[in-house]
A = this chain, B = another copy of it.
Amino acid sequence: MDEKISRKNFLTRASIVGLGALVGGFATQIANADKTQNWSANKWPWPYVELDPETTAQIAYEEWYRLWCGGTVIYSVFHQLAQKVGEPYKSFPIDPFAIFEGGLAGWGTLCGSVNGAAVVASCIIGPMTQEGCEDGHIIASNMLDWYSHTNMPIFVPKNPKANKKTIVHTVSESPLCHISVGKWMHASGYPINSPERKDRCARVAASVAYKLVEELNKWHKGKYDENIAWFAPKKVGITAQFNCAECHGAKIPKPPTPLKKL
């Protein structure tokens, strides 16, 4: 009987210990699940830690050859934050933003790198529709202005894939891919499919990633200070900035040679 009881007790205890271990195991799983689940991509700002602009730009340069301009700017920031912070960066679908390439699917409209930078700023800081989240919109807009007036590219990568000795710089005076790329092609003489043009666009994306992280770091320190003027469409009279002459003027060149084949 004693033995029976002992055995019964042993079995009962063993069961309890086993159940305890099972519960413990479940509890750990739950804790891990909670750790992963206790986040929302729809609460702002997203958790942010300061990033190194140089490191970010180098990542953006290298990853351009996989994700092109827009995808790589998003990757350069979100992939680092996924490693350093976790969610919501880990669950953000970065690669589909490869579609920003070449001014959206190669159409030459908005340069993908600033489109990507706008997505990053707006996701981290929050949409302008939320009170207190205006800085994302302002950073994106300042980025478009800075992009348009900067002698690009400014970032020099380690081990560039082309333009190894020197690179031509141009000011686009526009955030449009077609104009930005077109002016550089005209000044450098390199065609669209050349390694030199690809290296140039990879460096432009890297330059944008560098600037974006500088801006985000300032914002994170509470030291973000808008230092340029940009305008609401209501003031300009149309969706535009006061940069009209780049398109409304005599500066537009004739379409280049390949079009003569049409």
Residue from the list B91, B99, B253 in contact with A140, Cβ < 8 A: B99
Alpha-carbon gap, A240 to B121, bound state (A): 27
Contacts A33-B33, A238-B182 given: A97-B119 contact, CB under 8 Å? yes
Contact B29 A95 (CB under 8 A): no
Interface residues of A in 213-254 (CB under 8 A from B): 230-242, 244-245, 247-248, 252-254
Q: Which of A102-110, A163-171, A203-211 makes up part of the contact surface?
A: A102-110
**Known contacts A96-B122, A140-B105: A23-B19 contact under CB 8 Å:** yes
What are the interface flags for A99-125 relative to B under an 8 Å C-beta threshold, 1 for contact and 0 otherwise? 110111111111000110011011100
What copy number does this chain have within its complex?
2
- Chain B nearest CB from A106 CB (Å) reads 5
Residue ID in chain B nearest A248 by CB atoms? B255
Query: A34 vs B19: C-alpha distance in the bound complex, in angstroms?
Result: 21
Partner of A136, one of B99, B244, B262: B99
Instruction: Answer whether residue A157 sits at the interface, using C-beta atoms and an 8 A cutoff.
Output: no
The answer to whether B33 and A37 touch across the interface, beta carbons within 8 angstroms, is yes
Q: Report if A98 contacts B (CB, 8 A).
A: yes
Shortest A16–chain B CB gap in Å is 7
Hey, which chain B residues are within 8 Å of A40, CB to CB? 91
Q: Which chain B positions have C-beta within 8 A of A240?
A: 103, 107-108, 178
- Interchain CB contact under 8 A, B244 and A255: yes
Q: Is the CB of A239 within 8 A of B98?
A: no
Asked whether any CB of chain B lies closer than 8 Å to the CB of A41, the reply is yes
3 closest Cβ pairs, A-B complex? A237-B258, A108-B239, A96-B122
Interface residues of A (CB under 8 A from B): 5, 12, 15-16, 19-20, 22-23, 26-27, 29-30, 33-34, 36-37, 40-42, 44, 66-67, 71, 88, 91-100, 102-110, 114-115, 118-119, 121-123, 126-130, 136-137, 140-141, 144, 175-178, 181-182, 185, 191-193, 230-242, 244-245, 247-248, 252-259, 262
